[in-house]
């Protein structure tokens, strides 16, 4: 009996000892370490009663929290059980080994700067304006339109046409009859613009205002009505020059900037894209134009923008703003064609065409194209010898042309023996000093007349 009792007591003690050992097993839990932004695994012991005990001491975890750690364990994030004695590593060493991976898995950053360099500089400087000042803001880094304008605006000019026949009642100054834009293509004062900005303005003076605010008197140096291009000269040197690009390299959808003075609002900037790189003039209803194709853009262009540059993002003029059809549909003359006009104008000046102040004869004319000549032959039986020239369709009463006997409908084929192929040639003759001018005129009924006209130097 005593032996059986002794065995029962020993067995009970062994069972209580085993239960104690099981309850005192080392468990792995997670706690946040205040020493830096790290997560460590800590060791603790909890007895069955939930009181404090063991080497580290701890608190009993509720079943829900233990269940949560079990789910994380299954996900492979944290280990739930330390293996004592594995490779001789302690719990502290094992916790350090998983510290980096835990931070990588649970770190998050919102609204990071664009680019790795910006991200690093933002962290170093604290992410605000209090850094070292080397970090560029998005406004500074991506405001490319403003950079283009700052580079090209000094070459933009405002052209104002003053009517000397009418003066303001209060100031006594000539009134402004029209205005337009242009840009400097030579540092010695040569300006490119549209022909309709500066021609067919009798008794008018041209004033050119630079970006600096200085105003100069302008003189029309060359005109090509069929292409709607003209050059104006001012007496000024060392001027900023607009770079000329290559319009044939344009692509649909490319960003462009239109500069000019719409509605007399000088230095106005509008932006858009290239809608079409080669719009034929026939689709626009334009006849008798030498420009083979136009650049279509949705950049806002209106009255006063004419003659201003259409610029690409490299700061190069790739077109000359010419006309507006409706909001969102505007057209520009390709700069490649304007380059040809500038070359021809320069060659004409070297070949002996005199350049000076343009004189006045008082006519409104139209350059004759082959299509127009064929139409005139069908209607009025003009002679077959007429293959070029200009048609006079309006005269100013009392002007030199009116006094000399010219009539509306006359066709001028030669001046001083030189063939006339367009209004550009007439303007060249008017800029010379030859007086009088000998005009070869074809009139109705195949009459060929020689009429002398003495231009007026003071219109």
Residues forming the active site: 196, 228, 306
> Do the strands 243-244 and 316-326 form a parallel or antiparallel pair, or are they unpaired?
parallel
Q: Is residue 424 classed exposed, middle or buried when 0-12, 13-18 and 19+ CB atoms within 10 A define those classes?
A: buried
- DSSP lists the bridge partners of residue 367 as 390
Q: What is the DSSP letter of 360?
A: B
Structure token pair of residue 365: 């004319």
Supply angle C-alpha 138, 142, 143, rounded to 5. Answer: 105
- With vertex at residue 294, the alpha carbon angle to CA 181 and CA 185, rounded to the nearest 5 degrees, is 40
Beta bridge partners of 366: 391
The Cα–Cα gap between 415 and 421 comes to 11
**Cα angle 38, 42, 43; round to 5:** 175
Q: What is the DSSP letter of 27?
A: E
Q: Where are the beta strands (DSSP E) in 11-155?
A: 27-33, 38-44
> Which residues neighbour 135 within 8 Å (Cβ) at sequence distance 6 or greater?
113, 118, 121, 122, 125
Among candidate residues 121, 123, 98, 99, the one with its CA nearest the CA of residue 109: 123
Is 438:401 a contact under the CB 8 Å cutoff? no
Q: For tokens 């030189």, name the residue.
A: 418
């Amino acid at each position: 009996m005593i032996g059986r009792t002794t065995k029962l007591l020993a067995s009970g003690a062994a069972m209580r000892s085993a239960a104690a050992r099981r309850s005192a097993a080392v468990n792995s839990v997670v706690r946040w370490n205040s020493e830096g932004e790290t997560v460590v695994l800590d060791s603790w012991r909890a007895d069955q009663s939930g009181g404090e005990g063991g080497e580290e001491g701890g608190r009993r975890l509720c079943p829900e929290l233990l269940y949560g750690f079990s789910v994380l364990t299954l996900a492979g994030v944290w280990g739930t059980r330390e293996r004592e004695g594995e490779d001789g590593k302690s719990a502290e060493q094992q916790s350090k080994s998983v510290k980096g991976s835990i931070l990588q898995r649970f770190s998050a950053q919102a609204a990071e700067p664009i680019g790795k360099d910006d991200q690093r500089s933002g962290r170093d400087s604290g992410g605000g304006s209090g850094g070292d000042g080397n970090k560029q803001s998005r406004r500074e880094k991506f405001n490319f339109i403003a950079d283009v304008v700052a580079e090209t605006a000094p070459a933009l000019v405002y052209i104002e046409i003053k009517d000397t026949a009418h003066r303001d009642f209060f100031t006594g100054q000539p009134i402004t009859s029209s205005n337009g834009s242009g840009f400097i293509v030579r540092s010695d004062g040569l300006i490119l613009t549209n022909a309709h900005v500066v021609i067919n303005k009798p008794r008018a003076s041209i004033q050119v205002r630079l970006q600096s605010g200085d105003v100069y008197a302008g003189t029309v140096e060359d005109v090509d009505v069929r292409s709607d291009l003209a050059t104006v000269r001012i007496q000024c040197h060392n001027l900023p020059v607009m770079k000329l690009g290559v319009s044939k390299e344009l692509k649909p959808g490319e960003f462009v900037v239109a500069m000019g003075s719409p509605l007399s609002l000088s230095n106005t900037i509008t932006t858009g894209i290239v809608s079409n790189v080669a719009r034929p003039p026939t689709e626009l209803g334009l006849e008798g134009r030498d420009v083979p194709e136009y650049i279509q853009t949705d950049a806002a262009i209106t009255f006063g923008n004419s003659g201003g540059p259409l610029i690409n993002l490299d700061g190069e003029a790739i077109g000359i703003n010419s006309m507006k059809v409706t909001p969102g549909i505007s057209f520009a003359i390709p700069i490649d064609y304007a380059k040809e006009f500038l070359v021809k104008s320069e060659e004409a000046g070297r070949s002996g065409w005199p350049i000076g102040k343009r004189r006045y004869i008082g006519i409104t004319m139209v350059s004759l194209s082959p299509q127009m000549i064929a139409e005139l032959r069908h209607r009025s039986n003009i002679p077959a010898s007429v293959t070029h020239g200009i048609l006079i369709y309006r005269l100013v009463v009392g002007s030199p042309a009116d006094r000399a006997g010219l009539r509306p409908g006359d066709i001028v084929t030669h001046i001083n023996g030189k063939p006339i192929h367009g209004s550009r040639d007439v303007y060249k003759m008017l800029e010379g000093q030859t007086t009088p001018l000998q005009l070869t005129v074809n009139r109705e009924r195949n009459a060929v007349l020689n009429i002398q006209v003495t231009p007026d130097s003071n219109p």
